Amino acid sequence: MNIVVLISGRGSNLQAIIKGIEEGLIKARISLVISNKKSAKGLEIAKRHGIKTVFINPKEFLSREEYDSKLIEVISKENPDLIVLAGYMRILSSKFIDTFEGKIVNIHPSLIPSFQGLNAQKQAIEFGAKFSGCTVHFVTKELDNGPIIIQAVVPVLPDDTEETLSNRILQYEHRVYPQAIKWISEGRVQVEGRKVIVKDAKYGTIPVNPSLEDF
């Protein structure tokens, strides 16, 4: 399976996915990592692992649609089976999502449909939620609301800050995202409307549902 990854920042989820590939757990290759931030540390991670990188500067384009047209052009040359958003902080245009429909996945630091959008961890704390977590989902035109592949539950503690909760959630992000990508690479992920079933996966487990197998 050929993967293109979009990033904006430190690339910790990218690192987790690369690790899964290099350890032979995920039968895939990352052909390209693209960032909208020149300073994104994830670009250096990719380079260290011999992965091609591209920085596309949003300031050179008049609109989101124009920027995404360039993204489509660059990505299409790689002929990817999957596009992975790993801390990519731009909202994708309808044209982009239509072009790669069903091939884009994202991870969000909450239990969707709760706390969508930016600063999800802060939203959870301010709301007084007792649980939050992370969700791997397919990307649709509705922000952070696509069909869910896997979720992990993380408790919110009374003295949590946005940073402490984020770090606790991140530990699970680094496990559920590679797991979801492995399932996709194995052809085990079936989507029917909003419902996603992973063939032969174990359901009904806590804190991760369906249960982790490899990570």
* pLDDT band per the 50, 70, 90 thresholds, residue 78: very high
**8 Å CB contact between 138 and 196:** yes
35-45 pLDDT tens trace: 999 999 999 99
Q: Cα separation of 120 and 112, whole Å? A: 10
User: In the predicted model, what is the mean pLDDT of residues 50-64?
Assistant: 96
The pLDDT of 46-70, averaged and rounded, is: 96
Judged on CB neighbours under 10 Å (0-12, 13-18, 19+), 171 is: exposed
Q: How would you write 5-38 as a 3-class SS string?
A: EEECCCCHHHHHHHHHHHCCCCCCEEEEEEECCC
- Reported as a pLDDT band with limits 50, 70 and 90, residue 186 is very high
108 annotated active-site: yes
Q: Percent of the chain at pLDDT above 70?
A: 100
Structurally, what CATH architecture does the domain formed by 106-215 represent?
A: 3-Layer(aba) Sandwich (3.40)
Task: Render pLDDT for 99-117 as a digit per residue (tens, 0 to 9).
Answer: 999 999 999 999 999 999 9
For the chain, where do the domains classified as CATH 3.40.50.170 start and end? 1-101, 106-215
Cα torsion 101, 107, 108, 114: sign: positive
pLDDT tier for residue 144 given thresholds of 50, 70 and 90: confident
CA-CA distance, 18 to 12, in Å (whole number)?
Answer: 10
Which residues make beta-bridge pairs with 152?
134, 208
What CA–CA distance (Å, rounded) separates 190 from 6?
24
In this predicted structure, what is the pLDDT of residue 143? 86
pLDDT, residue 102, reads 95
| Average pLDDT, integer, range 21-27 | 97
1-101 sits in which CATH class? alpha beta
- Among 49, 108, 137, 174, the active-site one is 108
Residue pLDDT, tens place only, 149-167: 999 999 999 999 999 999 9
